[in-house]
Every structure is written in C-alpha cells, then in structure tokens.
Amino acid sequence: MEIMIETKNLTKHYKNKTVVSELDMKVTKGSIYGFLGSNGAGKSTTMKMLLGLIRPAQGQIQIFGKPLQGKMRLEILKNTGSLIESPSYYGHLSGRENLEIICTLKNAPKREIDEVLKLVRMENQQHKKAGQYSLGMKQRLGLAAALLGHPRLLLLDEPTNGLDPSGIQEMRELICALPKRTGMTVLVSSHLLSEIDQMATHVGIIDQGHLIFQDSLAVLHEHSQSKLHLRTTDTAAALAELQRNHIPAEEKEGTIILRDTSDRTVTCAIRHLVYAGIGILRAEEIQMSLEDIFLKLTGKKVSL
C-alpha cells in the first residue's frame, strides 16, 4: 500500500507547552483518514505542519514519499488541496474571483473553476461577494478552492464546523465520494466520533498531542463495543430470566444492559424474554461515546 503521508516523531511546542508530541502518522493512498480529537488536542497544529505553514520543533514529514522541505515542498503543495481552520477568502471579491486567484496560483486550467463550482453546488452564487456568503457557503467555497488543480491529497480541518445539519450531510457526501471518483486521499479532522464513523476508512485519535490510536475504522469498532439497552414491562423478572439462561446482563435505572451485542446473544435474549411473557418496550443499541473510547484507550477521563 502506497503511503501518502508519513510523519516520524513530529513534535511542536508553543511557549514551553507541547502541543504535538512525537506523532507517528501514516496515511495510505485512497483512504479517508479521520483525524479525531477534542478541541485543542493538536489537530490543527499537525495539519498546519503537514502543509509547512508552521515548522516542527522535531521530527520528519514525508508526503508522497518526499520530504516536506524546500523545492520539494512546492512540488508537494502543487498536488495538495487544503482547508485549514476557518475558511479563507477575499471578502471584497466574488466567489468566482476568489477561485480565479487560487486557480492562477496553482496554475490550473480555468475550466476547472466551473467543475469545482458545480461539484460544491455553488454555480448560482458564484458572482456574489464572498464576504456576504453564509458560513456554510464560505466552507463550500473553501472546499472548491481546495479541489482546484486535481490534488492527489486533500487536507480538511473540521470541514463541517459551523454548518447546519443539511450542510453537514452534504459536506460528508462530497468528501466520501472523492476517493472513489478521483482516487484522492483525504485527511479530515473532527472532534465528533460519529462524523468520523460516517466518513472515514482509517482513524487516528490524538489526545493532548499524543497519537493514542491509529488503525482502520474496523479496528476502532472493536474498541468501541456497543451496548444493548432493553426496556421491558417487568425489569426484575426480565433480569432473572436472562440470568437463568446465562446471558450476562445488568440493570441500571430500570433499563437492562447487555454488554454482548453479538447477533446470537441478542436473538437469544429477546427470544427468552418473549417466551417468558415479558413485553419488550424498547431495544436500543448504544454506541460507546468518544469519551468512553478515550477512557478506554488512555485510562483517563478527558473533557471534550
């Protein structure tokens, strides 16, 4: 598998405070790498280092197998699109004029402007001044700018921040479609596990500058075992019935919790309860929250 981004021992301090610490990141070609972490965990700092916007205190960065330095950096940037922090735009220029600037800087053909405008569905607002755009539109303009020049790698820092629910959905669909359509590799950061869950193929979790988890989404799911919450007409009887059948269960505030959510256990449990004449009011699968996963991975509580 071709490695698109590889960092070794990547470290950054700000005034004695270590923001990113010995980060070894690996992003493979064609993946959507979800970069997960709470606010201030070091996501933006890492992404800025990947673009050469800020210089690491220690460590190496290789993108497309080349070191991010000097002439190579420009070569890498030519093939990289990015949307970092809040969207950037020249407020007195129209959306289209903003794209023209990026297009010129990237030396991409002008016709691509129409392509990306269509892709982010902004053809109708392209002549409006960018300063008058809503946050969602600015965000989409930023994505359009990042997509100019057919980059092989896309770095998106919290691209759904500040968007309304339909905007979030739209952004997600756009991002998910990119690798399939263009073979692009995407690194997308978020502080929401659910969001990463819906977009990513691979996940890296950063906590206080440390990369505490990095693997495929499937492996993360093994960590984030879910629970089944059952509400029944008779909690006490239900619990007794499950225990009698050796199905591990516990009770909390009138809800029965099954830790094992394998298909076999769930069918078994429900069948026994129904046969015992206990009515099932709700059966709800509860995902482990990001906090829970952090707790499990780091052994300490984090505030999000």
Partner 1 sequence: MLIRCIRCEKLKLKHSILWLACLGIPVIPAIMGTFNYMGNLETLTPGWANLWTQETLFYANFFYAPLIGLCCAYLWRLEHRNHNWNTLMSAPVPAWAIILSKLAVILRTLILIQIWVGVLFLVSGKCIGVENRFPVETLGWLLRGTLAGAVIGALQLFLSMVIRSFALPIILALLGSIGSIYAAAKGIGLFFPYSLMMLGMNSNHAENMLEGQLAVFLASSVGMLLLFYLLSVLYLKKTDVKA
DSSP code at position 94:
B
Q: How far is CA 117 from CA 25, 99, 106, 163, 238, in A?
A: 32, 9, 16, 18, 57
Residue 152 makes contact with partner 1 by CB under 8 A:
no
Compute the chain's Rg from CA coordinates. 23
Q: What are phi and psi of 95, to 5 degrees?
A: -55, -45
Instruction: Give the nearer residue to partner 1 in terms of CB position, either 158 or 241.
Output: 158
Helix (H) or strand (E) holding 112, with range, is helix 111-119
Alpha carbon distance 19, 202 (integer Å) = 23
C-beta of 250: minimal distance to partner 1 in Å?
49
Judged by CB under 8 A, which of 60, 104, 216, 233 binds partner 1?
Answer: 104
Residue 91 makes contact with partner 1 by CB under 8 A:
yes
Instruction: Give the nearer residue to partner 1 in terms of CB position, either 66 or 78.
Output: 78
Alpha carbon distance 44, 31 (integer Å) = 20
C-beta of 65: minimal distance to partner 1 in Å?
18
Alpha carbon distance 304, 290 (integer Å) = 9
Residue 6 makes contact with partner 1 by CB under 8 A:
no
Judged by CB under 8 A, which of 3, 8, 59, 100 binds partner 1?
Answer: 100
Both tokens assigned to 67: 């070191």
- Residue span binding partner 1 (CB under 8 A) among the ranges 27-35, 70-78, 231-239, 253-261: 70-78
- Residue span binding partner 1 (CB under 8 A) among the ranges 35-43, 102-110, 112-120, 209-217: 102-110
Judged by CB under 8 A, which of 10, 116, 141, 145 binds partner 1?
Answer: 145
- Helix-then-strand count for the chain, H and E: 11, 15
Judged by CB under 8 A, which of 37, 52, 136, 209 binds partner 1?
Answer: 52
Helix (H) or strand (E) holding 111, with range, is helix 111-119
End-to-end CA distance of the chain, in Å? 34
Residue 48 makes contact with partner 1 by CB under 8 A:
yes
Angle at 200 between CA 199 and CA 201, to 5 degrees: 135
Instruction: Give the nearer residue to partner 1 in terms of CB position, either 43 or 214.
Output: 43
Residue 260 makes contact with partner 1 by CB under 8 A:
no
Binding site for partner 1 (CB under 8 A): 48, 51-55, 74-75, 77-78, 80, 82, 84-93, 97, 100-102, 104-107, 145
